[in-house]
Amino acid sequence: MLSLTDIEQAAQRLHGHLLNTPCVESRTLSQLTGAQIYLKFENLQYTASFKERGACNKLAQLSADERARGVIAMSAGNHAQGVAYHAQRLGVRAVIVMPRFTPGVKIERTKGFNAEVVLHGNTLDESRTHALQLAAEQGLVFVHPYDDEAIVAGQGTTALEMLAEVPELDTLVIAVGGGGLIAGMATAAKAIKPGIEIIGVQTSRFPAMVNAVKGTHHPQGVSTIAEGIAVGTPGEITRAIITRLVDDLVLVDEGDIEQAMVMLLEIEKTLVEGAGAAGLAAMLKYPERFAGKTVGLVLCGGNIDPLLLAAIIERGMVRAGRLARIRVSVRDVPGALASITATVADAGANIDEVHHQRAFTMLSAQNVDIELVIQTRGPEHIRQVLAALGEAGFEACEQH
């Protein structure tokens, strides 16, 4: 059974090979949530994820024969990069099996560490089956992303650092996929500070660990913005530890995660992937259960496709009312559009897009719907723009 000693020994193996990432208070997020929040910036690791910890601890313990044979892993990206990077550092051959949906940025980074990348299957489970097959065929050592005590011990070093830096933490909120991070951190944290509360967070689209531990039957989806925790089969080792040591598991929705990502980007000026924002998402969704507590959040990864990030930022602006779509109905005569745009400009809003809708409308043939996407200062400003259009004689409303 995994113990604090295993995690302390892992920390010694990792010393000098990984960053002891900052764990600092976020005053603004603390004010917004009513809790005192400390952020552990694991997105600052060389491969932008905590996964390096477990990979480094596992590979450091390989025998000479195992190093000569090489290693294989299945991963949606962060475990892949951790294994590939430390295998390269140790001169060990690494083969990585990734699902076909894996973001291009993660594939390229993994290849950049001289790993042999194999794209196979649509899910991590399909990738694992193929990886085990290749391991048997080529005599490679299989490095599981979470269901391995050496991996779990490495991930647990995150809690050692957090409690050494901020001993007053009374709650840890941790993203859960296969459970490696929370199992390791719970083992360390509960041994050091038995009264600390450990809360796990899963996306509602991949609630496998919640179902396994709580006996619930939440349906599983097929995709999530938090692909780093999109795990369909929870680990056996990690499940046992979570059942014993984790106080609760909660679910968050896609919108909660998107909002948390945008807040971290805007407030903390730090980029996290979906899984990395899950902890903050839980605090935004369930503020009452964290109110007044001293909470540690792990920003566990920062690898995200730039196009996906752009879409998330834009959607965040829509939710915040800083990007709005309005429809103005007018007679289709020369100068109508110029009058509308002048009114919007006078109201202090900027126009992003303009679209004339003549065919798909119930208006009379002499009229036209003009759709505008505008940049505003927020919901109140949108109302001011609509009021200005109304005063100018236009029929205008917001489109959702």
Domain with residue 395: its CATH number is 3.30.70.260
pTM greater than 0.85 (yes/no): yes
Q: Are residues 41 and 116 in the same domain?
A: no
Structure tokens at 103: 């973001």
CA dihedral (128, 132, 134, 140) in degrees, to 10, reads: 120
Q: Are residues 362 and 292 in the same domain?
A: no
Q: Are residues 38 and 162 in the same domain?
A: yes
Q: Are residues 181 and 303 in the same domain?
A: yes
Q: Are residues 220 and 279 in the same domain?
A: yes
**Residue where one domain finishes, among candidates 142, 164, 183:** 142
Q: Are residues 384 and 253 in the same domain?
A: no
Domain with residue 172: its CATH number is 3.40.50.1100
Do the bridges between strand 395-399 and strand 350-357 make them parallel or antiparallel, or are there none, so unpaired? Answer: unpaired
- pLDDT at site 362: 66
Q: Are residues 172 and 38 in the same domain?
A: yes
Structure tokens at 220: 């599983």
Per-residue pLDDT of the chain (400 residues; tens, 9 = 90+): 899 999 999 999 999 999 999 999 999 999 999 999 999 999 999 999 999 999 999 999 999 999 999 999 998 779 999 999 999 999 999 999 998 887 777 788 899 999 999 999 987 778 889 999 999 999 999 999 999 999 999 999 999 999 999 999 999 999 999 999 999 999 999 999 999 999 999 999 999 999 999 999 999 998 899 988 988 888 999 999 999 999 999 999 999 999 999 999 999 999 999 999 999 999 999 999 999 999 999 999 998 888 899 999 999 999 989 999 999 988 888 898 999 999 999 999 999 999 987 766 666 667 888 999 999 999 999 999 999 999 999 999 999 8
- pLDDT at site 400: 85
**Residue where one domain finishes, among candidates 315, 348, 379:** 315
**Residue where one domain finishes, among candidates 259, 288, 315:** 315
Q: Are residues 338 and 284 in the same domain?
A: no
Distance in angstroms (rounded) separating the CA atoms of residues 42 and 48: 7
Helix (H, G, I), strand (E, B) or coil at 202: strand
- pLDDT at site 306: 87
Is the dihedral angle over the CA atoms 290, 295, 299, 300 positive or is it negative?
Answer: negative
Q: Are residues 44 and 63 in the same domain?
A: no
φ/ψ (deg, to 5) at 368: -145, 145
Question: What is the total count of domains within the chain?
Answer: 3
Quick: pLDDT tens for 370-387: 999 999 999 999 999 999
Quick: pLDDT tens for 105-122: 778 889 999 999 999 998
Name the nearest CA neighbour of 204 among 269, 254, 163, 160.
Answer: 254
Identity of the amino acid at 99: P
Q: Are residues 274 and 389 in the same domain?
A: no
Q: Are residues 46 and 57 in the same domain?
A: no
Q: Are residues 241 and 127 in the same domain?
A: no
- pLDDT at site 365: 65
Residue range of the domain that includes 302:
4-50+148-315
In the chain, the largest separation of any two C-alpha atoms, in whole Å, equals 82
